[in-house]
Structure 1
């Protein structure tokens, strides 16, 4: 549906006079922001701690044990402190809320709370994208821009990896 809307908007832009085309392009850019890579991280995880069945679903805690991240404007390590608080819901999806810390190669410590939902493949067996909404609390200064924008994350898994981890890629909406 979103592709149809974008294609229709693009056709209208091309048919309009030049001044109207620029205005339409600005509106499209506002509604459908571009994404800019912030970093790719490899987050190491420990063995899950099963909390058990709760009124909301089955609960578990996944320790975050370290890792690394790198992007165009920042790089460093994932500190070995933090957790991913997971809830298996009745619809088969898992709600995640991870709270952990990055330390940049120049010493800044940045807190991240990253929430999302992971769902099983659809009825046709097609995988569903795993998206998150990271929120950063950086120190004032060089990295304060992280606390001033909108971000989206993707989660990937590498079953062939030698140690358990997830790959989280974070993008900033421009």
Structure 2
């Protein structure tokens, strides 16, 4: 019998986002760039502010599957800077994805939105972020993305 994987919730990242810029159809889909303008991190033993720089670089495939790659950083309340690279997928019924694109509310439970965040920091206290794998369960709202980060045990 194969061993079971389990996860443990560790924190939530709320990333505030700006206006979408599109580079248009690039041959494999539509390239979009969404600036990250701030936000917060809240969890047990880790809290802070998302730095107001970075972006989410997306490709919307012809079937509306969205491939995401966000790069940004956050600063913890105790002064550590943590760089984040977060790759993921968002997919669901086409009509709901189109509503999201227009900034209209959609029940997050109806959209598959999962990410794989990777962290880098020179802080000894938060070195554990570089020594573990994480998955995120995310929800897109008109002005923000909320990512519940889980450690893979």
Per chain length, whose mean CA-contact separation is higher, i.e. which structure has more relative contact order (CA < 8 Å, sep 6+)? 2
User: How many Å separate the matches in 2 of 1:78 and 1:90?
Assistant: 32
User: How many Å separate the matches in 1 of 2:147 and 2:13?
Assistant: 5
Match of 1:115 among 87, 90, 107: 87
Q: Which has the larger radius of gyration?
A: 1
Where do 5+ consecutive residues of structure 2 fail to align? 95-108
1:35 aligns with 2:7: yes
Match of 1:152 among 135, 139, 147: 135
**What is the SS of the residue equivalent to 2:74?**
strand
1:5-36: CA deviations, max 9, x gaps?
xxxxxxxxxxxxxxxxxxx6xx53xxx32211
Using the TM superposition, give the Cα deviation of residue 83 of structure 1 relative to its aligned residue in structure 2, in angstroms.
Answer: 0.2
1:169 aligns with 2:148: yes
TM-score by length of structure 2 reads 0.85
**What is the SS of the residue equivalent to 1:145?**
helix
Where do 5+ consecutive residues of structure 1 fail to align? 1-23
Do 2:54 and 2:71's aligned partners in 1 also have CA atoms closer than 8 Å? yes
TM-score by length of structure 1 reads 0.75
Do 1:37 and 1:72's aligned partners in 2 also have CA atoms closer than 8 Å? no
User: How many Å separate the matches in 1 of 2:130 and 2:27?
Assistant: 34
User: How many Å separate the matches in 2 of 1:116 and 1:46?
Assistant: 19
Using the TM superposition, give the Cα deviation of residue 156 of structure 1 relative to its aligned residue in structure 2, in angstroms.
Answer: 1.1
RMSD: 1.9
1:68 aligns with 2:47: no
Corresponding residue number in structure 2 for 1:58: 30
Structure with bigger strand share is: 2
The 4+ residue runs of structure 1 with deviation greater than 2 A are 126-129
